[in-house]
């Protein structure tokens, strides 16, 4: 994997460097060439003008010819150029002889007749000619005497500097490319390590998970996208581990819940077969076996119900439900159980409260909670059932004065098969599926469920439901 990321990162950073340097090289060379060309042109024009004024003085015979030659040579040297002066045909007589030493073939070679005509009209001409080895800049300025054009001065200068500069630039770019590539390789190496480590970790942990080992996790250091990915990966691994544990627990719990009644029933049947019981005992064991079968039946029903809710297979028949009426109906149904433990139901609501719910399912919810309250209440105590109304929802609460639930247990009681008192007598309770089903049913109604409880103080279970609205 390192190789893959490293190679790709290196290739892309090298490509970026190369493209940048090449573009920079072109830009620099263009800017430099145009700057140098215009500077050179300006200098040559200036030199031409200097020669013009020298020639003017000479033609007025203020300086000797030798002096002029020397001056022009000096200028030619200073401007690294070949200089020639060409007189106008008409003035040839007067000017030609005096300047003949300065005429050169270069002027005719590099300027067209059109160019020379332009100069003779008082304009400056400049051009660049490509020679086999070097570019040559040629400038021609008019030669004036007393404001009258009598000819022209031409200057030719090789553009060595541009050539030299472009060679220099190319060298510099080569050095920059090599240096940048070196730095890029080193940086890419560390970067690719940085990027690939969490990915490698994830791949390692993933293959461990695939083999059923959920112990590994990826170390998250950075706060960037990779860090976020590693974090989600860890979360996913955690969820998978949890799901796997739930699956194992689930099977273990079902096996446990089924094994006990089955071995009990098989023991009873065996006893009957062996004629080991007297008629009275036999009657007792058979009726206990029937109870066990009913319990198993209940357990299977609960499991099917859970699975149906979980897979969204139940369809809620939402309608206007009067909570007060429903609670009174449940209390009437549960009266025998209240009486059996001498429990006092107390009601804490006045008037009707209408909610949007499936009456059958909400009855199931309240039956479960009231059933638990009865189960856990000490004899002769009270169970209070109340309704509270808000702007948008109603809260039903059921308070008992039983043993209460420790804070650390409260978050687990909603898990399937969770029982606080594992040694509780079997006939005392279900398999720990009741609250799991209850919670799912409330949540299917878009309500929430919770418990407030302290050990020794009793428990208050509550759940909310959306209020029924007229307009609905």
User: Which residue's CB is nearer to ligand ADP, number 72 or number 396?
Assistant: 396
Q: Is 107 in the site for ligand ADP (CB under 6 A)?
A: no
CA-derived radius of gyration, the chain: 52
5 contacts ligand ADP (rule: CB under 6 A)? no
CB of 376 to ligand ADP, least distance (A): 4
Sign of the four-CA dihedral 88, 94, 100, 102: negative
Pick between residue 271 and residue 429 the one whose CB is nearest to ligand ADP: 429
At its nearest, how many Å lie between ligand ADP and the CB of residue 385? Answer: 13
Instruction: Determine the interface stretch with ligand ADP among 83-91, 178-186, 319-327, 434-442 (rule: CB under 6 A).
Output: 434-442
For residues 85 and 117, what is the distance between their CA atoms, to the nearest angstrom? 14
387 sits in which H/E element: strand 382-389
> Residues 459, 462, 463, 464: which binds ligand ADP (CB under 6 A)?
459
Q: What is the 3-state secondary structure (H, E, C) of 212-229?
A: CCCCCCCCCCCCCHHHHH
Token pair, residue 226, equals: 């990779």
Give yes or no for residue 158 binding ligand ADP (CB under 6 A): no
345 binds ligand ADP (CB under 6 A): no
Our finding on whether 434 is near ligand ADP (CB under 6 A) is: yes
Distance between CA atoms of 104 and 91, rounded to whole angstroms? 18
Q: How far is the CB of 348 from ligand ADP (least distance, A)?
A: 17
Q: Based on the shown chain and the rule CB under 6 A, indicate whether residue 430 belongs to the binding site for ligand ADP.
A: yes
Q: Which is nearer to ligand ADP, 122 or 456 (CB)?
A: 456
Binding residue (CB under 6 A) for ligand ADP from 86, 418, 462, 468 = 418
- Quick one: which segment of 27-35, 178-186, 202-210, 424-432 binds ligand ADP (CB under 6 A)? 424-432
Pick from 125, 141, 435, 465: which binds ligand ADP (CB under 6 A)?
435
Residue closer to ligand ADP by CB (options 216, 403) is 403
Q: Is 52 helix (H, G, I), strand (E, B) or coil?
A: helix
- Interface with ligand ADP by CB under 6 A: which range of 16-24, 169-177, 263-271, 426-434? 426-434
**Any residues with CB less than 8 A from the CB of 33 and at least 6 apart, and which?**
162, 165, 166
Both tokens assigned to 360: 């059958």
Contact status: 432 vs ligand ADP (CB under 6 A): yes
Give yes or no for residue 253 binding ligand ADP (CB under 6 A): no
Residues 350-409 contacting ligand ADP, CB under 6 A:
372-373, 376, 400, 402-403, 405
* Closest distance to ligand ADP from the beta carbon of 405 (Å): 5
214-252: b (≥16 Cβ within 10 Å) or e: bebbbebeeeeebeebbeebbeebeeebeeeeeeeeeee
Which alpha helices (DSSP H) does 321-401 contain, by range? 323-340, 359-376
Rounded Cα distance, 62 and 218, in Å: 96
Q: Listing from the earlier edge strand, what are the strands of the sheet with 135-145?
A: 82-87, 148-158, 135-145, 125-130
Q: Return the residue of 209, 286, 328, 420 that touches ligand ADP, per CB under 6 A.
A: 420
Q: Give the 3-state secondary structure of residue 75.
A: helix
28 burial level (CB within 10 Å; 0-12, 13-18, 19+): middle
User: Least separation, in Å, of the C-beta of 375 and ligand ADP?
Assistant: 6
Q: Considering the complex, state which of residue 44 and residue 383 has its C-beta at the smaller distance from ligand ADP.
A: 383
Torsions phi, psi for 406 (to 5 deg): -60, 145
Report how far apart, in Å, the C-alpha atoms of 250 and of each of 257, 264, 314, 438 are: 10, 22, 22, 18
Residue 414 beta carbon to ligand ADP: minimum distance, rounded to whole angstroms: 7
User: Which residue do the tokens 């429903």 mark?
Assistant: 326
Q: From the CB of 10, what's the least distance to ligand ADP, in Å?
A: 59
* 429 part of the interface to ligand ADP, by CB under 6 A: yes
The yes or no reply on residue 413 touching ligand ADP (CB under 6 A) is yes
User: Shortest distance, CB of residue 432 to ligand ADP, whole angstroms?
Assistant: 4
Binding site for ligand ADP (CB under 6 A): 372-373, 376, 400, 402-403, 405, 413, 418-421, 429-430, 432-436, 459
């Amino acid at each position: 994997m390192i190789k893959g990321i490293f190679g790709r990162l290196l290739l892309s950073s090298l490509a970026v460097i190369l493209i940048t340097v090449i573009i920079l090289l072109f830009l620099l060379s263009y800017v430099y060439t145009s700057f140098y060309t215009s500077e050179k042109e300006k200098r040559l024009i200036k030199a031409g003008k200097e020669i013009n004024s020298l020639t003017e003085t000479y033609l007025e015979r203020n300086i000797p010819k030798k002096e002029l030659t020397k001056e022009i040579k000096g200028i030619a040297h200073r401007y690294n150029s070949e200089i020639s002066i060409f007189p106008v045909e008409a003035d040839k007589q007067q000017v030609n002889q005096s300047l003949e030493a300065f005429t050169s073939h270069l002027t005719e070679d590099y300027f067209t007749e059109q160019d020379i005509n332009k100069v003779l009209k008082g304009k400056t001409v400049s051009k660049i000619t490509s020679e086999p080895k070097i570019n040559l800049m040629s400038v021609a300025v008019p030669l004036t005497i007393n404001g009258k054009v009598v000819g022209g001065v031409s200057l030719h200068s090789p553009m060595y500097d541009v050539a030299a500069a472009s060679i220099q630039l190319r060298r510099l770019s080569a050095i920059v490319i090599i240096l940048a590539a070196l730095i890029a390789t080193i940086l890419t190496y560390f970067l690719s390590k940085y990027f690939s480590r969490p990915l490698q970790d994830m791949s390692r942990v993933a293959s461990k998970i695939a083999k059923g080992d959920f112990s590994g996790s990826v170390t998250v250091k950075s706060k960037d996208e990779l860090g976020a990915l590693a974090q989600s990966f860890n979360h996913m691994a955690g969820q998978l581990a949890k799901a796997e544990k739930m699956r194992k627990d689930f099977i273990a719990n079902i096996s446990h819940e089924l094994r006990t009644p089955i071995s009990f029933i098989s023991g009873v049947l065996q006893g009957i077969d062996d004629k080991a019981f007297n008629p009275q005992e036999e009657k007792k064991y058979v009726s206990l076996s029937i109870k066990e079968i009913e319990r198993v039946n209940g357990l299977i029903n609960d499991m099917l119900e859970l699975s149906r809710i979980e897979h969204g297979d139940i369809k809620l028949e939402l309608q206007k439900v009067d909570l007060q009426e429903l609670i009174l109906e449940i209390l009437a149904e549960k009266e025998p159980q209240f009486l059996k433990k001498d429990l006092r139901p107390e009601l804490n609501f006045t008037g009707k409260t209408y909610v949007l719910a499936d009456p059958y399912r909400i009855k199931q919810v309240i039956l479960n909670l009231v059933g638990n309250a009865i189960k856990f209440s000490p004899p002769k105590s009270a169970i209070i059932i109340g309704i509270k109304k808000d702007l948008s929802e109603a809260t039903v609460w059921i308070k008992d004065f039983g043993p209460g639930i420790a804070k650390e247990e409260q978050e687990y009681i909603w898990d399937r098969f969770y029982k606080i008192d594992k040694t509780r007598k079997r006939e005392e309770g279900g398999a720990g599926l009741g609250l799991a089903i209850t919670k799912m049913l409330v949540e299917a109604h878009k309500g929430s469920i919770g418990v407030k409880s302290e050990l020794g103080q009793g428990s208050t279970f509550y759940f909310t439901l959306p209020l029924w609205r007229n307009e609905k």
